[in-house]
């Protein structure tokens, strides 16, 4: 979708010839728009519900709210991953109150109906009152989400039974997810523990921020200075990167910067033992996948958004963030660190240190980001100023949904997101003359 001329919808105002790409602030602060998003976007897109390592054994389950729904992510007695709506088909009570555990059956606390972990109704906690063929058609089994598919160890759900396949939806972003699998032939696992925190801002602000290279030096100045100190003696002359939009609103930036990676990018201050182990990992990686792919995996940091609300940070660690919209001005963030199954205790400690020191709720980056996003949301209360600007690097003929920008700190990534968002919210319809004139 190339922008070859002016465009105006309910939410976007574009003038490619002048390099202007603007987003109407009602997209961030209007409760009615938020409700519309839940129906037009979150009910129709693929979203990460969990990783295969979180439910290793039959009976393992996790209660996981997502897309305005309360879900149970479970591996059933046959070893198959399933996702059920956490509501009893009898009278609607939430049948599971635990966040995680292992169960052969789930028992509804209201009337005692019992369900196997594969979803079938086992009994109704009574010897009379129901016919023998009451559930022969499975009507009273737990209800599964309409669609569940897996890519690179991540399970995605979609509430639209007629949605395109996950692989088609991910488009070029699927290949970047697959790169994670190359970190270890033993596979990856979610490291025990999760960070959960709320931000008083619209969820899309965190999506924008998560792959925004423009704010690094101004917002995270303390981190930049810290890295300059610890990287004394490291060649910093080759720092650079690019932005890529993959289709369907997914995008990332890729950055070559020596932040340290326990897979294959040692930092001298980590010590000789750690550096030797990391160099051995790097040698193994290059032997397994070849020098070209090995260089990408080892030396490129990547922040990627899977539209509309999943963030994959592949840098000091692998971090999955799922953003749960709670209101137009409130979000819940869940963050999990991910690492190789066969990682040594030494490298695992470095991985977790990287996750905490930069990406953690108390790290260098996240508190800065939270403050900026909340300041933005406060700023939107000034309704006299109606438009945000995401124009950096925008030009006539840009295909925002699928292209490459050689500058990682331009704003192609966000334009890809907003182009897809606008497409789903408006169908690409031109705005009224009144709005166009604002």
Torsional sign, CA 161, 165, 166, 172:
negative
DSSP string, 316-360: SSEEEEEEEEEETTEEEEEEEEEEETT--HHHHHHHHHHIIIIIS
pLDDT at residue 359, as a whole number: 78
CA–CA separation, 240 and 410 (whole Å): 12
**191: nearest Cα among 317, 363, 364, 49:** 317
| DSSP code at position 268 | G
Give the bridge partners for 334, in sequence order: 196, 322
Do 138 and 118 contact (CB within 8 A), yes or no? no
Q: Are the C-beta atoms of 305 and 171 separated by less than 8 Å?
A: no
pLDDT per position as a tens digit, 48-99? 999 999 999 999 999 998 888 999 999 999 999 999 999 999 999 999 999 9
Domain 173-426, what fold? Answer: Naphthalene 1,2-dioxygenase Alpha Subunit; Chain A, domain 1 (3.90.380)
Q: Do 82 and 118 meet the contact criterion of CB atoms below 8 Å apart?
A: yes
Q: Where in the chain is the domain with CATH 2.102.10.10?
A: 50-158
* Nearest-angstrom CA–CA distance, 171 and 166: 9
Q: Quick check: helix, strand or coil at residue 309?
A: coil
CA 218 vs CA 198, 208, 284, 340: distances in Å: 23, 16, 38, 34
How far apart are alpha carbons 112 and 124 in whole angstroms? 7
The pLDDT assigned to 260 comes to 83
CA–CA separation, 210 and 252 (whole Å):
9
What 3-state DSSP class applies to 114? Answer: strand
Q: Crossing angle for the helix pair 412-426 and 203-210, nearest 10 degrees?
A: 150
Q: What is the pLDDT of residue 238?
A: 61
Task: Provide the 8-state DSSP code for 380.
Answer: T
Query: Which tens digit of pLDDT belongs to each residue from 180-213?
Result: 999 999 999 999 888 899 999 999 999 999 999 8
Q: Which residues of the chain have pLDDT under 70?
A: 223-238, 428-438
Helix 272-289 to helix 291-299 angle (10° resolution) is 140
Give the C-alpha separation, 149 to 157, whole Å: 7
Residue ranges of the chain assigned to CATH 3.90.380.10: 173-426
Closest residue by Cα to residue 16 from 2, 32, 4: 4
Name the CA radius of gyration of the chain, rounded.
23
pLDDT at 232: 63
- Dihedral, CA atoms, 368, 369, 374, 378, nearest 10 degrees? 90
Burial class of residue 156 (count of CB atoms within 10 Å of its CB; 0-12, 13-18, 19+): buried
Which residues are registered as beta bridge partners of 387? Answer: 24
What CATH number does the domain located at 50-158 have?
2.102.10.10
Residue 271 CB neighbours (<10 A): 12
CB 359 within 8 A of CB 316: yes
What is the rounded distance in angstroms from the CA atom of residue 218 to the CA atom of residue 303? Answer: 19
């Amino acid at each position: 979708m190339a922008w070859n001329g002016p465009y105006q919808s309910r939410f976007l105002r574009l003038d490619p010839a002048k390099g202007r790409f603007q987003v109407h602030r009602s997209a961030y602060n209007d409760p009615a728009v938020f409700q519309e998003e839940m129906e037009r976007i979150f009910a129709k897109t693929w979203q990460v519900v969990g990783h295969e390592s979180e439910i290793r054994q039959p009976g393992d389950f996790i209660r996981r709210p997502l897309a305005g729904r309360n879900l149970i992510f479970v591996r059933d007695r046959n070893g198959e991953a399933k996702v059920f709506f956490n509501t009893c088909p009898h009278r609607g009570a939430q049948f599971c109150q635990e966040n995680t555990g292992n169960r052969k059956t789930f028992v509804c606390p209201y009337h005692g109906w019992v369900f196997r972990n594969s979803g079938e109704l086992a009994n109704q906690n009574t010897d009379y009152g129901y016919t023998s063929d009451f559930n022969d058609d499975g009507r009273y089994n737990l209800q599964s989400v309409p669609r569940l598919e897996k890519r690179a160890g991540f399970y995605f759900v979609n509430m639209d039974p007629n949605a395109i396949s996950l692989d088609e939806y991910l488009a070029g972003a699927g290949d970047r997810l697959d790169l994670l699998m190359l970190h270890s032939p033993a596979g990856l696992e979610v490291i025990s523990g999760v960070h959960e925190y709320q931000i008083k801002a619209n969820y899309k602000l965190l999506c924008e921020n998560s792959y925004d290279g423009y704010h690094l030096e101004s917002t995270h100045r303390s981190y930049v200075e810290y890295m300059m100190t610890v990287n004394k003696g490291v060649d910093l002359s080759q720092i650079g990167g690019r932005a890529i939009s993959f289709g369907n609103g997914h995008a990332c930036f890729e950055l070559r910067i020596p932040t340290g990676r326990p897979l294959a990018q040692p930092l001298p201050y980590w010590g000789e033992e750690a550096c030797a182990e990391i160099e051995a990992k790097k040698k193994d990686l290059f032997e397994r996948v070849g020098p070209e792919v090995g260089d990408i995996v080892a030396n490129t940091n990547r922040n990627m958004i899977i539209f509309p609300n999943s963030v994959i940070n592949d840098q000091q660690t692998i971090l999955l963030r799922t953003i749960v919209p709670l209101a137009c001005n409130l979000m819940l963030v869940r963050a999990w660190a991910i690492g190789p199954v066969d990682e040594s205790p030494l490298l695992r400690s470095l991985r977790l240190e990287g996750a905490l020191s930069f990406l953690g709720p108390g790290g260098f980056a996240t508190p800065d980001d939270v403050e900026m996003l909340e300041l933005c949301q406060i700023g939107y209360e000034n309704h006299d100023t109606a438009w945000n600007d995401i124009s950096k690097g925008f030009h006539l003929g840009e295909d925002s949904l699928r292209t490459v920008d050689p500058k990682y700190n331009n704003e192609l990534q966000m334009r890809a997101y907003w182009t897809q968002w606008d497409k789903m919210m408006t169908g690409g319809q031109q705005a009224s003359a009144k709005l166009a004139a604002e």
